[in-house]
Amino acid sequence: MSRFQALTGKQVLGALQRMGFETVRVKGSHHFLRHSDGRKTVVPLHSGESIGPGLLSSILRQVQITRDELNQHL
C-alpha cells in the first residue's frame, strides 16, 4: 500500500467541498461537513500542520471515497 501525500486541512476541505460536501458548522478549528446523501465528517484546519495519514484515512472511510477520488478533486 502506498503512502498518502501530505495534505493540509484546507486542501482536504476544498476537495470535499468540490465533491458536494457543505460546511454545516465550525467549532474552533474543526469544520463539520455533510453531504446531501447523509455522509459526514470533521476536518481540522490547524495552520501550518498537515493531516496525518491515519486521520486522512479515517476521513476517507467516513465519506466513503478512495484516495484516487480525493486526488482528482485536489
Q: Are 43 and 9 in contact (CB under 8 A)?
A: yes
Q: What is the domain count for the chain?
A: 1
Q: How far is CA 48 from CA 51, 53, 59, in A?
A: 10, 16, 19
CATH of the domain at 45: 3.30.920.30
pTM above 0.75, yes or no: yes
Residue 18 domain flag: yes
* Per-residue pLDDT tens over the stretch 45-60: 998 899 999 999 999 9
- Give the structural domain span for 36: 7-72
Q: Is residue 39 part of a domain?
A: yes
- 1 within a domain of the structure (yes/no): no
* pLDDT for the residue 48: 84
For residue 41 the three cell numbers come to: 465528517
